[in-house]
Amino acid sequence: MTAAEPWQIAEIPGPKKALVVTKPGVVAAMIKRAKHPILIVGHVAVETDLGDKKLVDYIIEFAKKANVPVVATAHIIGEFLKRGYEPAGFMPAVDIGNRLVDSDWMGIDSKGPHDLALFIGLPYYMEWTILSGLKHFAPNLKTITLDNVYHPHASWSFANISMEDWMENLKVMMEKFEEGGT
Amino acid sequence: MSRKGVNVKIDELKTDVGLIKNLELSFGKLVEDKWAEPMGPTPFPSLTTLREWDMKLLQRYKPFYMPYCDVCCLCTFGKCDLTGNKRGACGINMAAQQSRIVLLACCIGTATHIGHARHMTEHLIEKFGRRTPLDVGGLNIKAEAPVTRLVCGVKPETLGDLEEVLDYAETQLTHLLSVVHTGQEGSNIDFESKVFHAGMIDHIGLEVADIAQIASYGFPKADPEAPLVDLGYGTVNIEKPVILCIGHNVVPSVGIIDYMKDNGFDGDIEVCGLCCTAHDITRYYKRGKIIGPISWQLRFIRSGVPDVVILDEQCVRADSLYEAQKIKAPVIVASEKNCMGLPNRTNDPADLIVEDLVNGKAPGALILDSEKVGEVAVKVALKVTPLRKKFKTIPEVDEILRMAKECRQCSDCRRACPQDLHIPEAMKAAAHGTLTTLAELYESCVGCGRCEQACPVGVPIHSYIVKAGEKKLKEETYKVRAGRGAIQDVEIRNVGSPIVLGEIPGVVAVVGCSNYPRGGAEVAEICTEFANRRFIVVTSGCSAMSAAMYKNEEGKTPYEYFTGEFTSGCMVNVGSCVANSHIAGAAIKIANIFAKRNLRANYEEIADYIFNRVGAVGLAWGAYSQKAAAIASGFWRLGVPVIVGPHGIKYRRMLLGRADRKEDWYVYDARTGEKVYVGPAPEHLFYTAETKEEAMVMIAKLCMRPNDTFRGRSIKLTHYIDLHKRLYGIMPEDIPLFVRTLADIPVTMKDEIVKIIEEKGWKETVIPDPTLLPRMIRKRKE
Ligand code: SF4
Ligand code: SF4
Ligand code: SF4
């Protein structure tokens, strides 16, 4: 697999494509540097097995360590609560996309506009299109996808990587958060 | 008949409602009728006549654009890079470009329906005469064409009258299409208003096509007990010659059925269909069979069962000739819109064409005469069936097991698959001797064939999936109620009050194509859930078929265990895509028949009524086509929200309300002229749901309307909260937005909800007589 090809082969975006992240530590640093990041989690997170856990288990740990507020899309809020984690909010994926293009929106926690949106676990084509909406219409927002597939409409994305590498990347990022500093 | 002058009067009418009476005379034949209802303010609206209404909706439901591509390549000034809302060489920016593409899609959809309607009307006039009355339900239906009456202000009585209506629709469509030209409209919001106009015009096309065929062909006429007909691969008797018709225009299929009946072959041959033509075959011929939605095209052709394939128009795979050739089945193409490169044999003697097709001299023929199609198809079927012996291209199991070993595990198939199906894993399992993993893909596979195009070693992956799922395919034997057409006036009278008061919790129209995220079972599940909850459930098109492909413990499909009457807890199949007009028609008739609002050319008022009072919502779970986009936009202008499945996000713009912006949710109280906060009801106008659970909760929510009575709102809230708790595992957070007074709260949840809303600082409001139109205010504020 070539490094920076969209996961779905026909999803060719245009001139502006996501920068490929090769070192997960870089993402961790960007998250730490962000003033007001937000993490949007789609329903695929509760269906994906990663090792002996679900992806959502990693995401919860990630969100806690990174101290990023989470928005659960689709119907998966209950899966977070079951695991004893309360996201900052839940709403349809297109609703959170639509709020993020509004520069006056005060954010999911009413603490002001977000400057960085992280995405994980949406169906590829939904995440693709929402990231596109943000790329074109949310000039003050940077986006990073934490998925294991290349998303050209994000500001930064991993390339298409294996499940093992993905798990490893998430772990590395979490370690970086624990290390503290920026 | 004079067809002059339809558009000439429009401007004059727009400027002064009072002049209308004088102007009526100049409308020509259609207005000279005895329709006593006075002409409303907007007959034959032009592109901008209803712009103010559109702006009211678009002010609330602002477009959220998600471009599919960063560039524009529509003219030779380009390609232009529009990234970040940049402007192209013509000055257009990204937002306008996206809405322009939406308009283009809707124009394509509208053109398809109007073209269909025009062909149908001309053909039926030729066959039955222009004076054929438009009887779509006898004495049970007073308004034969509610959409046309509402939009145009005319009352068509005969087939011939429909021509004038189509003249208007075609004129509007030409103007609309011209708007997408480089250097025309520059504002995204004005593009959006024109999208609504295209949708409204589309509904006229739908209505004309369906009422013309109902009246002429004797389809079920607003019949709640339309016959239960067969659906599914397993219902076809493969011992007989099988004629398969694919598409949307039933005219050639009628030619086949008539020829068969007239020549004593009825019962000797199976006539079946895919996609909407199938619906219309069964509306005409009880023994006709529906194979399934559009996504069954490849699997059914490759199964080798069809002996002759007839292609008409719309949603026909462009490779169906190629696929049919592979199973040695001759093809007849029967529409000018879809000639497939075949020679025009319309004027050749039927027997000569038959000979060429049977002996394989030609793979197919273009025949633009439905009677000749009938004769040729039947004769070819009888002769070719013993020769081709159901030759199929679905492989045997041993071949799959062998070929699976050739798989390189490159994942190109999965990366081409719109459903992201884990094909490589299934191939690996097959290489190890088990087909169960492949079989598991059967339900979610939409039969697009993209995986096969991607595979570097040429594995016919879709065929493998079908073979692995063969048991399921062969067990597909279901019943669906044939499309009933319109809703009767008496049904509207019976449900009008409980719908408008909110006591029937909503009308859910489950419609559209079959590009489902996880197979059709979800559609059946959603329909069953809401029919059980006593919503009015209406279906059409491919979704109507998918809803039938599910049986309960007693072996019955939803059409067998829910009533076909338009009432609480029903399961009503109106028919093919063009029958969607009856769903719009039902909403319009609630305003007209139940609430006695004038219908004639009174679009704004009726749409305002529907928007504020009729808790209806459309679900197009597998919408893919431009036609679906056009149909949806016709509903938006009427004030009916539409939910699409996750693939629908690729329509690239949503119309989303902002529940968190209180200022967006005020209406006028028509009694006082006061502006009243009514909460986000309905919250969205066009919206993509990610999962079926999300869609179900949103359906319940989008049925709320400002006009709901206490009792109605508490019933609607009960469903919303109950579904939310069950499917999300938590109470909804936005309950306070939907509680206007304490009496709105469902009794059984009173304590819990009062606590929640009080914590959130809820304040009581009044229930207004809601309207967005200042002119509807009866008493002006001093
Ligand atoms: S239509 Fe406009 S934006 Fe598109 S290619 Fe032409 S000049 Fe560029
Ligand atoms: S035919 Fe089925 S498996 Fe193949 S790409 Fe299409 S949906 Fe996926
Ligand atoms: S594309 Fe073909 S070779 Fe590649 S994984 Fe799929 S089936 Fe195997």
For residue A4, tell me if it sits in a domain.
no
For residue A110, tell me if it sits in a domain.
yes
- Reply yes or no on whether the pLDDT at B199 is more than 80: yes
HSE toward the beta carbon, residue B509, CA cutoff 13 A: 29
- Percent of chain B's residues with pLDDT above 70: 95
For residue A6, tell me if it sits in a domain.
no
pLDDT at A4: 82
Residue of B682, B735, B743 lying closest to B711 (CA atoms) = B743
pLDDT at B503: 82
Q: Which amino acid is at B171?
A: T
- Reply yes or no on whether the pLDDT at B247 is more than 50: yes
pLDDT at B730: 96
Sign of CA dihedral B316, B320, B324, B329: positive
Query: Cβ separation of A94 and B654 shorter than 8 Å?
Result: yes
CA distance B413 to B435: 17
Q: Does B408 touch chain A (CB under 8 A)?
A: no
For residue A14, tell me if it sits in a domain.
no
Query: What confidence category does residue A181 fall into, taking pLDDT thresholds of 50, 70 and 90?
Result: low
- Reply yes or no on whether the pLDDT at A2 is more than 70: no
CA distance B237 to B151: 46
CA distance B20 to B44: 13
Report the pLDDT averaged over residues A21-44.
97
**B215 in contact with ligand 2, CB cutoff 6 A:** no
- Other CB atoms within a 10 A radius of the CB of residue A167 amount to 17
Query: Cβ separation of A75 and B654 shorter than 8 Å?
Result: no
Q: Does A112 touch chain B (CB under 8 A)?
A: no
**Nearest Cα residue to atom 7 of ligand 3:** B407
CA distances from B209 to B54, B204, B213, B217, B781 (A): 26, 9, 6, 12, 46
pLDDT at A3: 53
pLDDT in tens, B624-663: 999 999 999 999 999 999 999 999 999 999 999 999 999 9
Query: What confidence category does residue A60 fall into, taking pLDDT thresholds of 50, 70 and 90?
Result: very high
- Asked whether the domain spanning B478-775 has the same topology as the one spanning B34-216, the reply is no
pLDDT in tens, B653-700: 999 999 999 999 999 999 999 999 999 999 999 999 999 999 999 999
Residue B283 Cα to ligand 1 midpoint, Å, equals: 46
The count of structural domains within chain A is 1
Q: Are B117 and B208 in contact (CB under 8 A)?
A: yes
Q: What does pLDDT average to over chain B?
A: 94
Residue B628 Cα to ligand 1 midpoint, Å, equals: 26
- Ligand closest in space to the Cα of B297: 2
Domain map of chain B by residue range?
Answer: 1-32, 34-216, 233-388, 397-459, 478-775
DSSP category for residue B577: G
| Residue A26 belongs to domain with CATH number | 3.40.50.1220
**Is 0.90 exceeded by the ipTM?**
yes
Q: What does pLDDT average to over chain A?
A: 95
Residue of A16, A101, A126 with shortest CB distance to B70: A16
Residue of B13, B60, B32, B5 lying closest to B612 (CA atoms) = B60
For residue A155, tell me if it sits in a domain.
yes
- Reply yes or no on whether the pLDDT at B94 is more than 70: yes
Name which CATH class applies to B478-775: alpha beta
For residue A95, tell me if it sits in a domain.
yes
Sign of CA dihedral B223, B228, B233, B235: negative
**Nearest Cα residue to atom 5 of ligand 1:** B78
CA distance B700 to B716: 7
Give the gap in angstroms from C-alpha A19 to the nearest C-alpha of chain B.
16
What would be the CATH architecture of the domain defined by B233-388? 3-Layer(aba) Sandwich (3.40)
**Nearest Cα residue to atom 8 of ligand 2:** B417
Query: What confidence category does residue B35 fall into, taking pLDDT thresholds of 50, 70 and 90?
Result: confident
CA distance B534 to B18: 45
**B711 in contact with ligand 2, CB cutoff 6 A:** no
Can you give the C-alpha Rg of chain B in angstroms?
26
3-state SS string for B482-494: CCCCCCCHHHHHH
What would be the CATH architecture of the domain defined by B34-216? Up-down Bundle (1.20)
Supply the angle between the helices B188-217 and B580-589 in degrees, to the nearest 10: 100
Q: Which amino acid is at B752?
A: E
Residue B589 Cα to ligand 2 midpoint, Å, equals: 42
**Two structure tokens written together for B301:** 């052709």
Angle at B680 between CA B674 and CA B685, to 5 degrees: 115
- Reply yes or no on whether the pLDDT at B313 is more than 50: yes
- Reply yes or no on whether the pLDDT at B85 is more than 60: yes
**What is the residue range of A78's domain?**
22-178
- Reply yes or no on whether the pLDDT at B23 is more than 60: no
